Structure 1
Amino acid sequence: MISQEKRLIITFRCTTDAIAMEKSCKATGAPGRLIPVPRSISASCGLSWCAPPTSRTALEKLLQEQDLDPEGIYECII
């Protein structure tokens, strides 16, 4: 059985924003990766950024710096 743990999930309104987040995170070395949006959350584009909850402040700052407007930011067990 796969172990579940608490993760930070950032959803986006469109795929373009999700890809921009991935590009920004790779450029700055920010943690996380693109995943399909968990079933417990709904989002328009179907992609979300998944990272450790401890990175929330840094990722929120990155979103603001890159002028990316997330659909939502959640902490959930996946």
Structure 2
Amino acid sequence: MRRKVITTVVTFSTTTAAMKMEKTARESEFPGRLIPIPSEISAQCGLAWKCVEQSEEETENFLKKKELVWDGIYRVLV
């Protein structure tokens, strides 16, 4: 069984915003991946970006720098 760890998760209001995050992160080598929304969080599109080791602050800075649209940034056990 995989061990759960506290991780930074970004939610999006639309699937388009989530897909733009995935494309931008890949191009910028910002580690992470799209995952289904954890049950502790609710969001409209059902997708979230799971960060690898980035803090909430680092993640928010990246989102702002790349002018991406997000719904929320959370620390959850995933």
* 1:2 Cα deviation from its structure 2 partner: 2.0
- Alignment-derived partner of residue 56 in structure 1: 56
Q: Distance in 1 between matches of 2:2 and 2:31?
A: 21
SS of the residue corresponding to residue 54 of structure 2 reads helix
TM-score for the superposition, normalised by structure 1: 0.89
- Alignment-derived partner of residue 5 in structure 1: 5
Q: Which ranges in structure 1 are unaligned for 5 or more consecutive residues? A: none
Q: How does 1:1-78 map to 2 (within 5 A)?
A: 1-78=1-78
Aligned length: 78
Q: Which amino acid aligns with 1:71?
A: D
Q: Which ranges in structure 2 are unaligned for 5 or more consecutive residues? A: none
RMSD (Å) for aligned C-alpha atoms: 1.4
Q: Which amino acid aligns with 2:48?
A: S
**Are the counterparts in 2 of residues 31 and 55 from structure 1 also a CA contact under 8 Å?**
no
Q: Distance in 1 between matches of 2:54 and 2:63?
A: 16
Identity of aligned residues (%): 38
> Over residues 17-46 of structure 1, what are the superposed CA-to-partner deviations in whole Å (9 max), with x where a residue is unaligned?
000000110001001000000011001000
TM-score for the superposition, normalised by structure 2: 0.89
**Counterparts in 2 of 1:41 and 1:75: CA distance versus 1, 3 Å:** same
**Are the counterparts in 1 of residues 6 and 75 from structure 2 also a CA contact under 8 Å?**
yes
